[in-house]
Amino acid sequence: DEEVQVWQNKVMDVDPEEEAEFDRELRSLMQESLDSRKLEPRSRLSLNMAIPMNVSVGPTEDLHGRKGLESGDETLDEEAGGRTKGRKEVSVRVLVKRGNKQRSKQLYLPLDCSLVRSAKEREAAEVEE
Amino acid sequence: EETGGDDEGFEYGKGGYAEHACRYCGVTNPACVVRCNVPSCRKWFCNSRGNTSGSHIVNHLNHNDLKPICIGDLDQPSSTGMTSLLKCCWTDAVCAGDGETFPCTSLQGGGEPFGAFEFVRAKHKEVCLHKDSPLGETILECYNCGCRNVFLLGFISAKTESVVVLLCREPCLSVNALKDMNWDLSQWCPLIDDRCFLQWLVKVPSEQEQLRARQISAQQINKVEELWKTNPDATLEDLEKPGVDDEPQPVVLKYDDAYQYQNVFAPLIKLEADYDKMMKESQSKDNLTIRWDIGLNKKRVAYFVFPKEDNELRLVPGDELRLRYSGDAVHPAWQSVGHVIKLTAQEEVALELRASQGVPVDVNHGFSVDFVWKSTSFDRMQGAMKTFAVDETSVSGYIYHHLLGHEVEVQMVRNTLPRRFGAPGLPELNASQVFAVKSVLQKPISLIQGPPGTGKTVTSAAIVYHMAKQGQGQVLVCAPSNVAVDQLAEKISATGLKLNKQSSLVMIMLDLFNNEMRRLFQIKPNSRICNKGVERDTAESTAQVVRLSAKSREAVSSPVEHLTLHYQVRHLDTSEKSELHKLQLLKDEQGELSSSDEKKYKSLKRATEREISQSADVICCTCVGAGDPRLANFRFRQVLIDESTQATEPECLIPLVLGVKQVVLVGDHCQLGPVIMCKKAARAGLAQSLFERLVLLGVKPIRLQVQYRMHPALSEFPSNSFYEGTLQNGVTINERQTSGIDFPWPVPNRPMFFYVQMGQEEISASGTSYLNRTEAANVEKLVTTFLRSGVVPSQIGVITPYEGQRAYIVNYMSRNGALRQQLYKEIEVASVDSFQGREKDYIILSCVRSNEHQGIGFLNDPRRLNVALTRARYGIVILGNPKVLSKQPLWNGLLTHYKEHECLVEGPLNNLKQSMVQFQKPKKIYN
Ligand SMILES: [Zn+2]
Ligand SMILES: [Zn+2]
Ligand SMILES: [Zn+2]
């Protein structure tokens, strides 16, 4: 509940060699994962990606009164501890499956995230048309 | 019956520990952590980078965890005729086959390879979000195919709606049919980006949270990941565990975080606990003669003499002992545990037994007694350190960083200050005391240094009074010893006398742990039961002071017995309708209750206790007592610890981790510190108090400057040597002059002298201590002279640093004392350490050490000399060998001081003469 100003030299530089090693490992993990899936036959893959009706019908405004992605409304994020004042977010619904049931949950995305940026570009393009 | 260990089944410090804490850094925010979903792992990690390349969860997933996997016996055909792969016992990674667990001898026993095996990467690739995170408990998986490999997952959004889903990159993202649907595949946004999880999905802990978390390095991560391969439950603390013969890590001034703090102190506390256990359990005594008695509470009491040798710890009331009888032709073997309720002047121990049935009361000889060691206090220290580390609410952020030695921007407490700083019922405060109270009330952390006789307790009581008046909730007041708690509690209760009579200043003193109480704590209290009683008592009695004590001390009489909670509970509700009271009476009459009544009685008692505790303004207890489970649900923003320089750091932490925001440490680092029995732990710095470390870190203690104890001639040397000459005298020579006392002080108006002794020191019979016969003989002569001149025994204290000499003096006086034996028995002869915090009118100090080449041992510690010199109010006599003592710079200074004032004397007491003894050159002061 209170702010404490701590003066401490905590920033220890990450060893560049360690960082490079870390990246190598991570990339090999990604590649390994990709390779393992590429071997799987694609033909048998069924598509199950329909957006359930009730998601878009559901409340378009969340508790904070922030509007959905397509509205493009920009609101200040005030609840994130006050430190991130000025950060801008939009609300989206994340679809997840639990068993066969689809569910959706509200989440906030920063405006500068690639998902939001591409949506904006798409919108702009549509408007031009 | 005997109840087992008091702390059974109770885990200390569990309160703040979250299962979902990041296993690297301890961050617990549910929005910031994910669980690794491999069944053999299931550990939680956060999305903060700390000082490493990637976030903690990515670090974990990225850990190069190669596991050997047995691919089974190729010669064993399955039912289908195909070669099957048996399930490997080493890892649950994919193994085809019949699923049977198979001993993998090639890997585990190191014998002949059983079958083929290869190394594969362990599959830590699935994660699950926390149930309290924005998305709730969700395993991250591809919306289309259910693939859970986080390295393949990414988000896509719908073209026309604000809907996003996770989709795997291979194969789902590359399926053509999807492009025709409502999804925008051009912007697939990978789940792991820049070596972190997407921050809008798994939040990065705030800067505050990260600062307060454990600072873990890449090396430590590697080490602990290695450790998890063989011990999945290993913690980072296990990395630091020293080997048996290792010297423990010494304490330092500053700690990166509370985990490092814990890593340093936990092994030291363990060492001390082990030593204490070993010491106490080795104190078995056989062939004791018992005198049986029955106490007022109808409990069986055994009296016996507990022979004490000089290297051993003294028994104190409350200690637990086991009395045993091995049995004979008529009596079966018997044993029972009991509590020491008092120690008689004849060094006889009174032990109240728990069980009254089957006691062989017709036998008097052949009993044995052992000490029952309890780990309670040490467990509580360990628990407090754990809480300090894992529970962010245990202390305020400011205090957290301050205690660890981080540089924190100065904070003031915004409180309206009282108009006057004194408190009702207490003496008027002097300028330095007022200054202390005033500054303390405005700061989150303060140190008050109270040199001997400067009114530390009064100042503390005034502070507590004003804090309680601020209405920030209950104030917690602690001290390491019961004696100090009692003293302070009495002063605080004095301020309550003139408080508003309607409001109650209730104090509870807790000390030892009480298992029964803890169990009862679970029972839902019938909270109405004692309300009336409380109100009535408040209105009627002037001092509302309650002492809540553990069973072991409940039977022990205390100077503030009327303040104890168990006393109040018993006397609280006298209305006939009270069931508790009825049961209490029944119990008193019969000595015990039926089991159902006993159950009811305990639950009512528990409820009553809780009621009283919660209505209190101030709670007083020992530092260890603050860890009593009865206080577990209490929060204290304001904590004052008296005599804090006599507590170890972890001991001090116990009262602090109950939510402190403002802390006052009172003490004097120029007097003796905590007693540490284990040399290893002491060497590593466990004997340094928190107060002292804060002083070393640059926190300036507020010093009380006026002493009201010593004759001005007696305070001069201590003031100059220990307090930079700042100690002022609040008493005059006249106030410390005793008329009618005819004692041969060499200089009138200077009631002090150094009595030169040349007798040799000897090693005591036990071989572990020293004595000095000449000094002992002269102590007797001095005591006799004092007694003859009209001083009464209670005014005299004989101090000696060695137990061997203490025992010898007691013995010598009672055999050779010129006056009535009884008079000598009433004179307190004790160590410097046990005189700390107390005073006597006259002090005789016997230094003992007198040898050609050896050191002066105990006397070397300046703080011990300070304490020894500052106990006397009216006069002091020091007996010692100046030739030996003068080698030490401080003693050299003392001897010079006495010589300059013509108080260095020798010869018979009725004809003291200035001594011309030559001092030795002091060894260099290292500084
Ligand atoms: Zn894992
Ligand atoms: Zn972490
Ligand atoms: Zn997929």
Chain A interface includes B94 (CB < 8 A): no
Q: How many helices (H) and strands (E) does chain B have?
A: 29, 38
The more confident residue out of B446 and B597 is B446
Positive or negative: CA dihedral B531, B537, B540, B543 = negative
B316: left (phi over 0), alpha (psi -120 to 50) or beta: beta
Say if residue B903's pLDDT is above 60. yes
Say if residue B851's pLDDT is above 70. yes
Chain center to CA of B355: 31
Measured at the CA of A35, the angle between CA A31 and CA A41, to 5 degrees, comes to 155
Structural contact between residues B702 and B437, judged by C-beta atoms closer than 8 angstroms: no
Q: How far is CA B869 from CA B48, B333, B709, B753, in A?
A: 56, 52, 12, 12
Please state the ipTM of this predicted complex. 0.80
Query: Distance between CA B805 and CA A56 in Å, rounded?
Result: 90
Q: How far is CA A37 from CA B37, B150, B566, in A?
A: 20, 13, 71
Query: Distance between CA B515 and CA B6 in Å, rounded?
Result: 5
Confidence of residue B320 (pLDDT cuts 50, 70, 90): confident
Q: What is the mean pLDDT of residues B505-517?
A: 29
Q: Does the beta-carbon distance from A42 to B145 stay under 8 Å?
A: no
Say if residue B768's pLDDT is above 60. yes
Q: What is the DSSP letter of B859?
A: G
Q: What is the DSSP letter of B117?
A: E
- Ligand approaching nearest to the C-alpha of B128: 1
Burial B617-634, CB ≥16 within 10 A → b, else e: bbbbbbbbbbbbbbbeeb
3-state DSSP assignment of residue B65: coil
Residue type, B503: S
Chain A interface includes B197 (CB < 8 A): no
CB atoms inside a 10 Å sphere around CB B573: 24
What separation in Å is there between the alpha carbon of B47 and the centre of ligand 3? 24
Dihedrals phi, psi of B759, to nearest 5 degrees: -65, 150
Chain B interface includes A101 (CB < 8 A): no
Measured at the CA of A44, the angle between CA A43 and CA A48, to 5 degrees, comes to 110
Say if residue B236's pLDDT is above 60. yes
Q: Which pLDDT value is given to residue B762? A: 81
pLDDT tens per residue across span B869-901: 999 999 999 999 998 888 888 999 999 999 999
Residue indicated by tokens 């028994």: B315
- pLDDT averaged over every residue in chain B: 79
Strand partners, B872: B840
- Ligand approaching nearest to the C-alpha of B125: 1
| Chain B positions in Cβ-Cβ contact with residue A3 (cut-off 8 Å) | 208, 397
pLDDT tens per residue across span B533-574: 222 222 222 223 333 344 344 434 444 444 555 555 555 544
| Chain B positions in Cβ-Cβ contact with residue A28 (cut-off 8 Å) | none
Burial B442-476, CB ≥16 within 10 A → b, else e: ebbbbbbbbbbbbbbbbbbbbbbbbbbebeebbbb
Q: Please give the torsion angle defined by the CA atoms of residues B643, B649, B650 and B656, in that order, rounded to the nearest 10 degrees.
A: 60
With CA atoms as reference, report the closest residue to B200 among A120, A91, A60: A91
Structure token pair of residue B373: 């060691």
What separation in Å is there between the alpha carbon of B168 and the centre of ligand 3? 4
Q: What is the mean pLDDT of residues A28-49?
A: 76
Chain B interface includes A84 (CB < 8 A): no
What separation in Å is there between the alpha carbon of B634 and the centre of ligand 2? 29
* Closest-CA distance of chain A to residue B549, Å: 34
pLDDT tens per residue across span B388-440: 999 989 999 999 999 999 988 888 888 788 888 988 889 999 999 999 999 99
**Which of B11-15, B122-126, B683-687, B855-859 is predicted most confidently?**
B683-687
Measured at the CA of B71, the angle between CA B65 and CA B75, to 5 degrees, comes to 165
Chain B interface includes A108 (CB < 8 A): yes
- Ligand approaching nearest to the C-alpha of A47: 3
Say if residue B515's pLDDT is above 70. no
Q: Which residues surround ligand 2, an ion (CB under 5 A)?
A: B 22, 24-25, 27, 46, 56
Positive or negative: CA dihedral B11, B12, B15, B18 = negative
CB atoms inside a 10 Å sphere around CB B523: 13
Q: Which pLDDT value is given to residue B388? A: 96
Residue type, B137: E
Chain A interface includes B233 (CB < 8 A): no
Say if residue B35's pLDDT is above 50. yes
Give, to the nearest 10 degrees, the angle between helix B649-656 and helix B258-281: 110
Structure token pair of residue B898: 């006495």
Q: Does the beta-carbon distance from B170 to A4 stay under 8 Å?
A: no
Structural contact between residues B318 and B556, judged by C-beta atoms closer than 8 angstroms: yes
B72: left (phi over 0), alpha (psi -120 to 50) or beta: left
Chain A interface includes B788 (CB < 8 A): no
- H-only helix segments in chain A: 16-38, 53-57, 114-128
**Which of A85-94, B76-85, B349-358 is predicted most confidently?**
B349-358
Q: Which pLDDT value is given to residue B902? A: 94
Q: What is the mean pLDDT of residues B113-118?
A: 38
Q: Which pLDDT value is given to residue B64? A: 60
Say if residue A70's pLDDT is above 70. no
Dihedrals phi, psi of A91, to nearest 5 degrees: -100, 140
Q: Which of A2, A8, A45 sits opposite B407 (nearest CB)?
A: A8
Structural contact between residues B842 and B810, judged by C-beta atoms closer than 8 angstroms: no
Q: Which pLDDT value is given to residue B15? A: 41
Q: Which pLDDT value is given to residue B386? A: 94
What separation in Å is there between the alpha carbon of B225 and the centre of ligand 1? 9
Dihedrals phi, psi of B156, to nearest 5 degrees: -130, 155
- Ligand approaching nearest to the C-alpha of B145: 3
Count CA atoms within 13 Å of residue B613 on its CB side: 29
Chain A interface includes B207 (CB < 8 A): yes
Confidence of residue B76 (pLDDT cuts 50, 70, 90): very low
What separation in Å is there between the alpha carbon of B103 and the centre of ligand 1? 24
Structure token pair of residue A78: 């005030």
Cis peptide upstream of residue B171 (ω within 30 degrees of 0) = yes
Confidence of residue B311 (pLDDT cuts 50, 70, 90): very low
Say if residue B133's pLDDT is above 50. yes
Residue indicated by tokens 């030291």: B268
How does strand A6-7 pair with strand B407-408?
antiparallel
Query: Distance between CA B353 and CA B341 in Å, rounded?
Result: 10
| Chain A positions in Cβ-Cβ contact with residue B135 (cut-off 8 Å) | 94, 96, 105, 107
Query: Distance between CA B621 and CA B492 in Å, rounded?
Result: 13
Beta-strand (E) ranges in B541-588? none
What separation in Å is there between the alpha carbon of B163 and the centre of ligand 3? 17
Query: Distance between CA B913 and CA B696 in Å, rounded?
Result: 45
Confidence of residue B22 (pLDDT cuts 50, 70, 90): very high
Q: Which pLDDT value is given to residue B564? A: 55
Residue from B49, B53, B194 whose CB has the most chain A CBs within 10 Å, to mutate: B53
Query: Distance between CA B624 and CA B650 in Å, rounded?
Result: 10
The residue in chain B having the minimum alpha-carbon distance to the alpha carbon of residue A89 is B200
Q: What is the DSSP letter of A58?
A: S
Give, to the nearest 10 degrees, the angle between helix B565-572 and helix B531-540: 100
**A65-79, B79-93, B772-786: the lowest-pLDDT one:** B79-93
Q: Which pLDDT value is given to residue A33? A: 82
Q: Which pLDDT value is given to residue B572? A: 53
Query: Distance between CA B699 and CA B676 in Å, rounded?
Result: 25
| Chain A positions in Cβ-Cβ contact with residue B122 (cut-off 8 Å) | none
Structure token pair of residue A90: 């939009």
Q: Please give the torsion angle defined by the CA atoms of residues A89, A93, A99 and A100, in that order, rounded to the nearest 10 degrees.
A: -160
Structural contact between residues B20 and B104, judged by C-beta atoms closer than 8 angstroms: no
- Ligand approaching nearest to the C-alpha of B126: 1
**B382-386, B622-626, B859-863: the lowest-pLDDT one:** B859-863
The predicted model scores a pTM of 0.65
The residue in chain B having the minimum alpha-carbon distance to the alpha carbon of residue A96 is B143
